[in-house]
Amino acid sequence: MRAAVLTPDQRAARAAFYERIGTHHMTPLWEVLGALVPPQPRSPLQAAIWRYSELREQVMEAGRLISAEEAERRVLILENPALPGNSSITQSLYAGLQLILPGEVAPAHRHTQSALRLVLDGEGAYTAVDGERTTMRRGDFIITPAWTFHDHGNQGRDPVVWLDGLDIPIVRFLDAGFAEKGDELSQALKRPEGDALARYGANMLPVDYHARPADPTRVFVYPFERTREALVAVAQGAPDPHLGHKLRYVNPATGASPMPTIGAFSQWLPAGFETRPYRSTDGTVYVCLEGRGEARVGERSFPLQENDIVVVPSWHELQFRADRDTLLFSFSDRPVQQALGLWREQRN
């Protein structure tokens, strides 16, 4: 709206009009146009860090207060400080820290929300997705596509903690959420461990398998060992000035993201490397899996250590500095934005 000088009478006439049309559930566009269509994203979200060394004890305390079975999922949600009570870390994504203690199970269920796990701490847990179990090891990236039954258990001696990432705010926005419980606590196994990775994740596919473009990958675990090995090999070459050595996880049958709503990435920043200022429209959650350094987001700066989680809102300028060789996992809604023709990045 162009600024105009109004007389008190004109002002009063407009206010009365706005009130009158309000009773018809109408409101004038010209009062809100600038906010509705900003020249560039002005995310209301805040950059923030969750330091694992400070949070681990809180997660363990949850383990003394409630069982995994009673909770269904014993998770402490990571809420963006600008949106308390909203169960979201960005506008489109949810994140939480999940704990499962030795001997516990988290019962089978399914929902239309898609989920990822990034294993952070402890070993001996498994997750089962659509009738196949995978042992969870630190750094493993595991997915639970929409409407697949999944349950977790811990048959080891350590508490096991992982980061959950879900598209809950997207499904909420679309009012498209369904969920149901499984018939049994732990779903019956249909295939031996490693079956999906062998069939779909060994640079081959079952001879009669044809994925449709939006199908999630049948590879539901991306073992950290393989990811790390790839990054170390790639890091023999020259780093990208803005990204270091960055790879994206894919559905090997299509080249698309593992799930349609969440993209995931892994990057290696050599010791001493500093990335050039970068921003993109996909608000992103980063996890420091190895190394240490610093993340600068706009005016703010966060020291990074292993298992620390940082959220970078849309279009906020980001720079990393690696004090040691550093491996970062990240996830965002990039595939959604790309499918809609919305995704942009800027390299300075």
Residue that is written with structure tokens 């906010």 in the block: 35
Helix, strand and coil in the chain, % to nearest 5: 20, 30, 50
Is residue 98 within the footprint of ligand 1HN (CB under 6 A)?
Answer: yes
Is residue 140 within the footprint of ligand 1HN (CB under 6 A)?
Answer: no
Is residue 73 within the footprint of ligand 1HN (CB under 6 A)?
Answer: yes
Stretch near ligand 1HN under the rule CB under 6 A, chosen from 8-16, 111-119, 135-143, 314-322: 111-119
Separation CA 46–CA 206 (nearest Å): 45
Sheet holding 245-248, edge to edge: 48-50, 309-312, 284-290, 326-332, 263-269, 245-248
Is residue 330 within the footprint of ligand 1HN (CB under 6 A)?
Answer: no
Instruction: State which residue, 166 or 318, has the beta carbon closest to ligand 1HN.
Output: 166
Please check whether residue 143 is in contact with residue 217, taking contact to mean a CB–CB distance below 8 angstroms. Answer: yes
Is residue 150 within the footprint of ligand 1HN (CB under 6 A)?
Answer: yes
Instruction: State which residue, 74 or 242, has the beta carbon closest to ligand 1HN.
Output: 74
Sheet holding 115-121, edge to edge: 75-77, 94-100, 160-166, 115-121, 141-144, 221-222
Is residue 75 within the footprint of ligand 1HN (CB under 6 A)?
Answer: yes
Q: Which of residues 47, 50, 96, 284 is near ligand 1HN by CB under 6 A?
A: 96
Which residues lie below 8 Å from residue 246, measured CB to CB, with a gap of 6+?
240, 265, 266, 267, 268
Stretch near ligand 1HN under the rule CB under 6 A, chosen from 59-67, 163-171, 193-201, 337-345: 163-171
Q: Which of residues 59, 116, 166, 256 is near ligand 1HN by CB under 6 A?
A: 166
Per DSSP, what are the bridge partners of residue 161?
99, 121
- Which residues sit at the interface with ligand 1HN, rule CB under 6 A? 73, 75, 96, 98, 106, 111, 113, 115, 150, 164, 166, 168
